[in-house]
Amino acid sequence: LMAEDCPPLPATLNFSVCGLGDTSYADFNQCAANIDARLDALGATRVADLVKCDLDYDDEFAAWKTAVFASEPFVTAAATPAAPAPQSETAPAFDKNHPFMASLLSCDRLSDPNSAKCVNHIELSLAGGGADLDYAAGDALGVWPTNCPDDVQAILTATGLTGRETVTLKSGPARLQAALSTKLDIATVTPTTLEVLEMDRPFEDAQILDLLATKGPVEAHILAAALRPLQPRLYSISSSPKAHPGEVHLTVGEVLYDLADRTRKGVASTHLGARLPAGGMLGVYVQKSAHFHPPADDTKPLIMIGPGTGIAPFRAFLEEREARGATGKNWLFFGDQHAALDYLYRDQIDAWHAGGLLTNLSLAWSRDGTEKIYVQTLLEQNAAEVFAWLQEGAAIYICGDATRMASDVEAALLRIIAQGLDADTAAAQTYLDTLASQHRYQRDVY
Ligand code: NAP
């Protein structure tokens, strides 16, 4: 579409663009705007205006849908017998806006206290949730977090508010204290924040408290208008429901870093890891994954690459393969900084390896030696065997860091495939694309 030599589109091609974006990014919904402008410039017919949705998209999406459904071409098309009637689906009892209240069974630190990272194993009870909470290995869990009470108090102190003020949110009136705790994102600065507070961003990655520190008193309704709604966080589920009926497990690294003289805390990761007491309740819902599941054919080999918290879905996969009695070979590539401090699920993984469920186990400890050993180092050291597994029909999955690890692992895979095929990178890319189209190459990266 964007190519300079893209041919014109017929005016009979009707379109309307609904963009899903996030106002905390500078180029809010730029992709949707570009596509909308391009379709128009190429001669297609816009039947309803572009709508740019923010994270909290329900109202904007509903308005866009109404406008599209009311447009003349849509009404005409829907009236023709060829257009199949939309399937009516029963809405699940629990979803993003109607979460199930799960209770925390336990939270145990997986990484050693001397590790640079605090990674927790979280177990939640889904008892009483019924079939609508049925999940499969590979699905994610949406979690509604609660903001840190110290941060809420710091905001009230900085603005000179008590928390007893009433503010009006989309969902209706609420006490400011409650709104700041559970309804509003009290960290992220968006363009709306700067506009409403009439301030400039003091530094990159500045948070709301950094702005309020110099602002002085703020009225409650202004504060509420400056903050966007709190959003749920999605975590890859790290348990198989067959191994843990009625429970769901997560593997969560606590986000903690210092910036501008203040420790910043990840909202959900520290709520789960440090603030929610055993028995405490938490709103959750299951976010189904389209294809990121263990192979349906239990005889097929499976290669899993998941350093750091990327291990999460693969613990679920291995529990699932074990519970199903799957005979296919399994190969796990895991790693982190130090073997002694960061070997998450060590006992379970070692037992799987000793017992034969894990045919191969490749562990990459990046800071134990003089040279960095990464998962792709071990992939390349085992290139011939990795390629042989692929030729035998293996599925290969990656989970974890999107920006660095996943692209470096993919580059290594392309080299391994090119070597195996004795061909160039283009041929390797075609091979990998074919695996992807068969859902045998999949990534859950964040
Ligand atoms: P992680 O930061 O991915 O670290 C796990 C292991 O991967 C470490 O041994 C790390 O080594 C290694 N690693 C670093 N760069 C790599 C690369 N290019 N290729 C392969 N391995 C690499 O795992 P985590 O601490 O569990 O963090 C996962 C989460 O943190 C994800 O959400 C991730 O997106 C996020 N994260 C992102 C960044 C980033 O800059 N994009 C940085 C940290 C964390 P070394 O640390 O010794 O290099």
User: Could you report the per-residue pLDDT of 321-346, keeping only the tens digit for each?
Assistant: 999 999 999 999 999 999 999 999 99
> Quick check: CB of 117 below 6 Å from ligand 1?
yes
Q: Is 272 exposed, middle or buried (0-12, 13-18, 19+ CB in 10 A)?
A: buried
Chain mean position to CA 77: 36
Structure confidence at residue 76 (pLDDT): 86
> Quick check: CB of 337 below 6 Å from ligand 1?
yes
Residue closest via CA to ligand 1's atom 9 equals 336
Whole-number Å distance, alpha carbon 253 to ligand 1 midpoint, is: 11
Beta bridge partners of 89: none
Residue closest via CA to ligand 1's atom 35 equals 401
Whole-number Å distance, alpha carbon 401 to ligand 1 midpoint, is: 6
User: pLDDT tens, 4-36?
Assistant: 889 999 998 999 999 999 888 878 999 999 999
Place of tokens 């899993």: 304
Residue closest via CA to ligand 1's atom 43 equals 401
Residue 33's contacts (CB-CB under 8 Å, 6 or more residues apart) are 19, 50, 52
> Quick check: CB of 375 below 6 Å from ligand 1?
yes
Compute how many other C-beta atoms are within 10 angstroms of the C-beta atom of residue 130. Answer: 11
Chain mean position to CA 417: 29
From first CA to last CA, the distance across the chain in angstroms is: 27
Q: What is the mean pLDDT of residues 288-295?
A: 95
How far is residue 201's CA from residue 189's CA, in Å, rounded to a whole number? Answer: 8
**Helix runs in 305-424, H state only:** 312-324, 339-342, 346-355, 375-381, 383-391, 407-421
Whole-number Å distance, alpha carbon 405 to ligand 1 midpoint, is: 7
Residue closest via CA to ligand 1's atom 4 equals 308
Residue of 314, 401, 444 to mutate, ligand 1, most atoms within 8 A of C-beta: 401
> Quick check: CB of 367 below 6 Å from ligand 1?
yes
Q: Select from 400, 304, 387 the least CA-distant residue to 352.
A: 304
String of DSSP letters for 58-70: HHHHHHHHHHHHH
Residue 310 has pLDDT above 80, yes or no: yes
Structure confidence at residue 93 (pLDDT): 83
> Quick check: CB of 408 below 6 Å from ligand 1?
yes
> Quick check: CB of 377 below 6 Å from ligand 1?
no
Three-state SS letters, 204-267 = CCCCHHHHHCCCCCCCHHHHHHHCCECCCEEEEECCCCCCCCCEEEEEEECCEEEECCEEEECH
Structural contact between residues 390 and 441, judged by C-beta atoms closer than 8 angstroms: no
Residue 225 has pLDDT above 80, yes or no: yes
> Quick check: CB of 407 below 6 Å from ligand 1?
no
Q: Which atom of ligand 1 is nearest to the CA of 336?
A: 9
Residue 113's contacts (CB-CB under 8 Å, 6 or more residues apart) are none
Give the CA distances from residue 47 to residues 39, 62, 64, 68, in Å, rounded to whole numbers and listed in that order.
12, 16, 11, 7
Residue closest via CA to ligand 1's atom 22 equals 405
> Quick check: CB of 294 below 6 Å from ligand 1?
no
Structural contact between residues 239 and 221, judged by C-beta atoms closer than 8 angstroms: no
Which of 57-71, 230-244, 330-344, 425-439 bottoms out in mean pLDDT, i.e. has the lowest? Answer: 57-71
Which of 88-92, 340-344, 373-377, 392-396 bottoms out in mean pLDDT, i.e. has the lowest? Answer: 88-92
Token pair for 366: 């990046």
How far is residue 119's CA from residue 402's CA, in Å, rounded to a whole number? Answer: 18
How far is residue 45's CA from residue 49's CA, in Å, rounded to a whole number? Answer: 11
Whole-number Å distance, alpha carbon 121 to ligand 1 midpoint, is: 18
Structure confidence at residue 122 (pLDDT): 98
Residue 84 has pLDDT above 70, yes or no: no
How far is residue 203's CA from residue 258's CA, in Å, rounded to a whole number? Answer: 14
How far is residue 175's CA from residue 399's CA, in Å, rounded to a whole number? Answer: 40
Q: Which atom of ligand 1 is nearest to the CA of 367?
A: 47
> Quick check: CB of 369 below 6 Å from ligand 1?
no
Residue 391 has pLDDT above 80, yes or no: yes
Q: Which atom of ligand 1 is nearest to the CA of 376?
A: 20
Whole-number Å distance, alpha carbon 308 to ligand 1 midpoint, is: 7
Mean pLDDT score across all residues of the chain: 94
Q: Which atom of ligand 1 is nearest to the CA of 365?
A: 9
Whole-number Å distance, alpha carbon 369 to ligand 1 midpoint, is: 17
Token pair for 53: 């949705």
Read off the pTM.
Answer: 0.89
> Quick check: CB of 400 below 6 Å from ligand 1?
yes
Structure confidence at residue 25 (pLDDT): 82
> Quick check: CB of 379 below 6 Å from ligand 1?
no
String of DSSP letters for 352-368: HHHHTSSSEEEEEETTS
**Helix runs in 93-187, H state only:** 149-159, 176-178
Confidence of residue 85 (pLDDT cuts 50, 70, 90): low
> Quick check: CB of 368 below 6 Å from ligand 1?
no
